[in-house]
C-alpha cells in the first residue's frame, strides 16, 4: 500500500501556503489514486487539535479517499552547509510517505550534511528540499526536480526563482545555492556552490 503525505507548516497556529497545498493534495489524489472528489485541507485541519504557539510540521497522511491520520511534529531547522552530489535513478514525483529510497542515498553523503541528487545528468533536489542557484543576477531552480514542492511553486509564481534545465556542468556558473521546502523559507539555508562536492 503506497500512501502519500502532504506536509504543511504550522507557525503560531497558522497554516502556511494552504492554497497551493490544496492544489497538490487534490491533484495527487486524482492522478495517483483516481479520486475525483475534492477535499478541502482547511476543513480537515480545522477539526484537529493543535498548538497555537511554536513551529510544527503538520503531516496529512492519505490513501485514496481516506485521511489515514494528521500529525503535528515540533520542528527545528537542520543546518546544511555542504552537499555531496549523488547519481541515482530515483522516483519521487509524488510526496510518498515512504522515503526509504532517498534515505538510503543519504548514506553516500560522506562528510557532507546532505546530498544533491543527479538524475539523468540533471540536477534535481536534496534529500529533503528543492534547490535554487544564484548567478549574481537571478535564482534558477532545476526544471526537473524530483518533487515539485509547494514552496517552489509559490516562489515560481512570485518570480523569485526561475526554472532552467540544469546539468552538472552548469554549476560553475553559480556562486551560491539556496535550499527550501515547506518548513524552510527561501533564504534561511544558503551555502556557497564551492561546498557542493562530487
Edge to edge, what strands does the sheet with 14-15 contain? Answer: 14-15, 4-11, 55-63, 66-74
Domain shared by 53 and 97, yes or no? no
Please indicate, yes or no, whether residues 70 and 96 belong to a single structural domain of this protein: no
The number of domains in the chain is 2
Q: Are residues 87 and 154 both part of a single domain?
A: yes
Same domain, 55 and 153: no
Residue 124 and residue 193 share a domain = yes
CATH code, domain with 32: 3.30.470.10
CB 12 within 8 A of CB 53: yes
Residues 113, 32 share a domain = no
**C-beta separation of 108 from 102 below 8 A:** no
The per-residue pLDDT for 123 is 98
How confident is the model at residue 1, as a pLDDT?
Answer: 66
Residues in the chain with pLDDT < 50? none
9, 57 contact by CB (below 8 A): yes
* Global confidence as pTM: 0.94
Amino acid at each position: 500500500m503506497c500512501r502519500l503525505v502532504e506536509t504543511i507548516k504550522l507557525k503560531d497556529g497558522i497554516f502556511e501556503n494552504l492554497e497551493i497545498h490544496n492544489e497538490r493534495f487534490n491533484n495527487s489524489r486524482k492522478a495517483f489514486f483516481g479520486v475525483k472528489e475534492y477535499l478541502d485541507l482547511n476543513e480537515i485541519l480545522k477539526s484537529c487539535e493543535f498548538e497555537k504557539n511554536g513551529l510544527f510540521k503538520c503531516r496529512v497522511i492519505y490513501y485514496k479517499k481516506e485521511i489515514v491520520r494528521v500529525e503535528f511534529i515540533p520542528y527545528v531547522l537542520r543546518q546544511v552547509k555542504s552537499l555531496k552530489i549523488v547519481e541515482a535513478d530515483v522516483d519521487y514525483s509524488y510526496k510518498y510517505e515512504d522515503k526509504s529510497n532517498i534515505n538510503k542515498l543519504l548514506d553516500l553523503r560522506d562528510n557532507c550534511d546532505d546530498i544533491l541528487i543527479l538524475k539523468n545528468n540533471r540536477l534535481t533536489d536534496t534529500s529533503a528540499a528543492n534547490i535554487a542557484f544564484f548567478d549574481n543576477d537571478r535564482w534558477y531552480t532545476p526544471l526537473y526536480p524530483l518533487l515539485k514542492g509547494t514552496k517552489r511553486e509559490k516562489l515560481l509564481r512570485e518570480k523569485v526563482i526561475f526554472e532552467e534545465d540544469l546539468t552538472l556542468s552548469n554549476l560553475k556558473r553559480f556562486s551560491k545555492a539556496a535550499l527550501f521546502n515547506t518548513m524552510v523559507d527561501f533564504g534561511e539555508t544558503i551555502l556557497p556552490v564551492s561546498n557542493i562536492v562530487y
